Chains A and B, each alone.
Chain A
Amino acid sequence: MVNAVINGIPVKVEEGTTILDAAKTVQVQIPTLCKHEDLPPSAACGICVVKIKGNNKMLRACCTPVEEGMDIITNDPEIVDVRRTVIELILSNHPNDCLTCGRNNDCELQTLMANFGIQEEFFDKFVKKTPKDSSTGTVVLEPEKCIKCGRCVEVCQDVQDVWALSFLERGFKTRISPAGDINLADSPCVRCGQCSAHCPTGAIVEYDHTAKVWRELMDPEKYCVVQIAPAVRVSIGEAFGYPPGTNMTKKLYSLLRRLGFKAVFDTNFGADVTIMEEATEFVERFVHKKGALPLITTCCPAWVDFMEKFHSDMIDHFSSCKSPQQIVGALSKTYFAQDKKIEPDKIVMVSIMPCTAKKYEIKRDEEMFASGQQDIDIVLTTRELARMIKQAGIDMTQLPDEEADHVMGDYTGGATIFGATGGVMEAALRTAYFLVTENNLEKVEFENVRGLKGVKETSIMIGEFEIKLAIAHGLSNVEYVLNKVRKAKEKGEPLPYHFIEVMACPGGCIGGGGQPYMVKDSVRIARTKGLYADDEKSKIRCSHDNPFVQKLYNEFLGKPLGKKSHELLHTEYKGRPQYRK
């Protein structure tokens, strides 16, 4: 521990604590534009400067550790003036597009401008008009709004190991772009959207599809149905003043009806079906030795894209089962359409996702048209839905609770935890245990697969079998796990794992690229807690016990991995180049 003084108040902090973090212990929030709690300091913006008494220089609070006996001043007229000048300089290099910007009212730069009361432009404007890059259809790059904080580059290269974004040129011409100055869609980008979730301004935002949804809702010919992903229910409240983790499921159901959706489904139902298929697939491969082990989960489209681009040698290990979103989509335009006697081409399936890559998944390949139509028509991220609610003028806080529509609105506790890292694994184990032993678990919780550790390795006993597991989230953690598998296969050694779960975003979908801004570990933990609480209060905790899933199989699908399942609920993968010409 080291002792120091901040603004005259003594503090005692762990060695290595930065001035920025130490200041929080005495209720001082030092302003910064580039530092993000998820990322190491890049020290780019120069706003967090502070003084040490007796030293003429100013130091960056974000990257300077507190030293014994430091006497720190975090604000005085000179510091405030330097910060203001830097902010004004940044403004001189930033367009005044606030009113038409995707980050209006939710922008770190705008907030800082407001806090510093900047009411006129002191310096001449230098903004170079640069074209937008919306080639991926998932995130939009607007380099002219970039303040070069480096968060997106850091998150893309070091957290996600994708290396789609980098800095090009230098000095005043520095800009973010894929290497070689190509379109994002032609780069290794996997559309995880973590860049957009970490961007402090409107330089990278999700591709907005709200207008398209409004248009479809207005069309009397169309039958609009909607599904909400597990992770959305515990994060959307943040846009309306609720603390992270608040479960908004039932308010969301009533809200979506009021927006004009004729049927409200829950992606969690799809998750239960996914588990039926995937757990069966695992048992087939593990017990009956049909297919490659370890089995790797494929619910996450950014991970699928990453694997196809970077680890295509692992395709055999991939579960062929589609993601819950796609399952609900395919079933809506077949099972549901037949049941309600609606022409499938009249149905518009909208899904509310915590994710930008889901916008890519719906057209990933021809398997996503299993119903004969495009199974999912439009994907909205959590952030887009929050905007639609505000546009509609609906007071989220006062909405009554409602239930989802049957069949595809009913879910188990196993499904809802899909939104957190380890959740898919835990739900699959609950069902796999039943499939192997024909008994339900007495204790359904698997504590070892939970939590924010980058790679979780554990094993469980199912009957006489020991099943070795790995759970990775944050794409940079994948290589370690896969290399272990490769090494064992090469040397003919026993497999290190039998079952691997991968989620592209740190924390899983609750930390997805389409979620409300300023995600950090404390927020991830709170959202995760919200999901586990939803699981705990569920009467049914295992996917195979969901009566509506049973009904689906009895009435429509037959059995897991059956012919119909294969047609509608399974897909294939192929290696893709990291760079497209």
Chain B
Amino acid sequence: MQQKRILIKDTDLKKDRTRDFYTAFLTEIQDKKLEEKVQLVRVSDIGIYGKGLTVRVLPENFLYCDVETGDISRIVSESVVEGRPIEALLHKPDDKQLRLVLRNCGLVDPESIDDYIKHDGYQAIATILEKMTPEKVIEEMKISELRGRGGAGFPTWLKWKLTRAVEADQKYVICNGDEGDPGAYMDRSVLEGDPHSVIEGMMIAAYVIGATKGFFYIRAEYPLAIERVNRAVTQAHEYGLLGENILGSSFKLDIEIRLGAGAFVCGEETALISSVEGKRGYPRPRPPYPSVKGLWGKPTVINNVETLANIPLIMLKGGKWFSSIGTEKSKGSKVFALTGKVKNSGLIEVPMGTTLKEIVFEIGGGGIAGKKVKAVQTGGPSGGVIPEDFINAPVGYESLQKLGSIMGSGGMIVMNEDDCMVDIAKFYLRFCVDESCGKCAPCRIGGTQLLHLLEKISEGKGEIEDLDRLRRISRAMQKAALCGLGQTAPNPVLSTLRYFEDEYKAHIVEKKCPAGRCAGLFHFSIIEEKCKRCGLCFRNCPVQAVSGNRDQGYLIFEEKCINCGRCFEVCKFEAVSRG
């Protein structure tokens, strides 16, 4: 029997039950004399929530939910000793999901080209090379209506067609793996879990446009993705799937990897090109588009990781099949990184048209700690906040845009009453200000001014005219910034202003932060009627802002208080108020 690791987590967060369960599990292991072979670990997070006691058996990765103490001996004998899953206990992912892009992740060994080939890998390119002209492939892609998954949603077939139409002695295909939205890891998961699909997608793109050279642009912070892509490229070369005369045809393609230094702007295609060329990652004006003048001035197609991973599947199953999934204008599926104040966070993939409500409540299991979901943020720093009133909105390029957000590359953050909208806007804006390349004035200065205004407001120093300033700068950035980063950077500000202007006004007029996030805009006081004069707050205050004694009671001196919230946390009688 090989070495095993068993992870335990009570997803209902019941401390005593976990301890008893752990003890029982440990006893069972000791009884069966398996201490040497099995490591039992209590983990702090297992990736799912509200599913009772959960057990994960590694390396097989069986995940069992709603486990009871009575199941322990079965798990040990069948799964740990014999390595078999127990069907009845297995965690069943909800059926709202549809795994197209992630189809191979977790199923196919990402380090084995043979395993990929066993799962229909390189079938699509083989068929294409055998009997399809580039025009035919474009036709099929047009039927599929696949749109770029990097965020902008440009039709992939059209990008290919435009690049194909330009005559040049050299063309390039680039895979954009410079995923940079905070909290997003869709592309990383695909590159780590299924690198061959992306390579196959690049091969098809290269064949169509007539490129003989391809580049992966992957950020250096993704070492495992880089390692796996590297290995996959080497394997593909060894199998004759890259190089000259691929599969006996005249098609040739070499692929190299370029590492990005993690600048967000280098996800913008013209800045990415500069970076691959070894220059400062500055965007440049378009036109000329990369399809005409791209890498080293040659026609270049740049597709996002997720876009490319879709392509072999489309070519195998047909464009018509693909376009049968999704909404009228947004076809196929989309991967989202679901996080925030939601029970089940993680990477999910749903058909376009799935509503936010289905994602948050059925897949995500709803808000945490019984708190009401207030809004959903999509599109990362370029996106916006969609309030709970619009939670029935389906995901799709146009539908989210109509609500003042964007689909973006797939970040999705659930927010509740503890989230302050001014603070959220500030968070995203700070990200964009940090990541602004500094080339164009609207983004470079506009972003800094917006951030300054938000800081002012969250410190209670805002004036009502600042709302007008926010809107004016935002519009100038949207209209006059050079690249997508600057044009969309004000979106978090505009969307929170659109739906939560009253929160801004509470900060400005009443000098209050309703969510209790903005330090300085709330203060602590002791409610005399509730106070039992226990003195906990007095003893715990780090700056001696609480004074008094057990006879006379206690008071908090505002001028000394640093709003750390320690008294609020330690009080057992809810006698400290925050407001």
Q: A interface vs B, CB < 8 Å?
A: 41-47, 49, 57-58, 60, 62-65, 78, 81-83, 85-86, 89-90, 92-93, 122-124, 126, 147-148, 150, 167, 169-174
Contacts and interface: CB of A to CB of B under 8 A. Distances in A.
Contacts of A126: 445, 448-449, 452
A171 B438 contact: yes
A41 B439 contact: no
Contacts of B284: 43
A172 B448 contact: yes
Interface stretch (B242-250, B302-310, B428-436): B428-436
A473 to B, nearest CB: 26
B37 interface: no
Nearest to B263: A170
Contact of B436 (A44, A81, A171): A171
B445 A90 contact: yes
B440 A89 contact: no
10 contacts: A46-B441, A46-B480, A89-B449, A92-B445, A92-B449, A123-B449, A124-B449, A126-B452, A171-B433, A172-B445
B445 A93 contact: yes
The 7 closest A-B pairs by CB, nearest first: A174-B438, A46-B480, A85-B476, A63-B285, A43-B285, A171-B436, A89-B445
Given A89-B441, A172-B448, A41 B479 contact: no
Given A85-B475, A174-B437, 8 more contacts: A43-B284, A92-B449, A123-B473, A126-B448, A147-B441, A167-B280, A169-B438, A171-B437
Given A49-B480, A170-B437, A171-B435, A86 B442 contact: yes
A136 B437 CA distance: 29
A55 to B, nearest CB: 11
Nearest to B448: A172
Contacts of A43: 284-285, 440, 482
Interface of B: 263, 280, 284-285, 287, 433-442, 444-449, 452, 469, 472-473, 475-476, 479-482
A298 B216 CA distance: 49
Given A57-B479, A60-B285, A85-B472, A171 B434 contact: yes
Given A171-B433, A171-B434, A172-B433, A150 B439 contact: yes
A324 B298 CA distance: 47
Contacts of B472: 81, 85, 122
Contacts of A169: 438
Given A89-B449, A89-B473, A148-B439, A172 B482 contact: no
Contact of A44 (B433, B440, B446, B476): B440
B438 A64 contact: no
Given A41-B285, A173-B438, A124 B445 contact: no
Contacts of B469: 122-123
B438 A58 contact: no
Contacts, number: 110
A58 B479 contact: yes
B438 A170 contact: yes
Contacts of A81: 472, 475
A45 B476 CA distance: 12
A44 B441 contact: yes
Interface centre among A150, A172, A174 (most CB of B within 10 A): A172
A14 to B, nearest CB: 16
A124 B480 contact: no
Nearest to B288: A65
Contacts of B473: 85, 89, 123
Contacts of B439: 42, 44, 148, 150, 174
Contacts of B285: 41, 43, 60, 62-64
Contacts of B435: 171
A42 B479 CA distance: 17
A446 to B, nearest CB: 37
A60 B439 CA distance: 14
B202 to A, nearest CB: 30
A62 B452 CA distance: 30
Contacts of B445: 89-90, 92-93, 126, 172
Nearest to A174: B438
Nearest to B482: A43
A167 B438 contact: yes
A43 B271 CA distance: 14
A559 to B, nearest CB: 55
B39 to A, nearest CB: 46
Contacts of B263: 170
A358 B211 CA distance: 52
Contacts of A92: 445, 449
Contacts of B446: 86, 89
B315 to A, nearest CB: 34
Nearest to A60: B285
B247 to A, nearest CB: 41
A271 to B, nearest CB: 42
B287 A65 contact: yes
B436 A172 contact: yes
A135 to B, nearest CB: 25
A337 to B, nearest CB: 54
A63 B475 CA distance: 21
A265 B499 CA distance: 75
A148 B441 contact: yes
A123 to B, nearest CB: 5
A152 to B, nearest CB: 14
B402 to A, nearest CB: 13
Nearest to A94: B445
Nearest to A91: B445
Nearest to A147: B441
A288 B285 CA distance: 56
B476 A86 contact: yes
Contacts of B449: 89, 92, 123-124, 126
B453 to A, nearest CB: 8
A46 B447 CA distance: 14
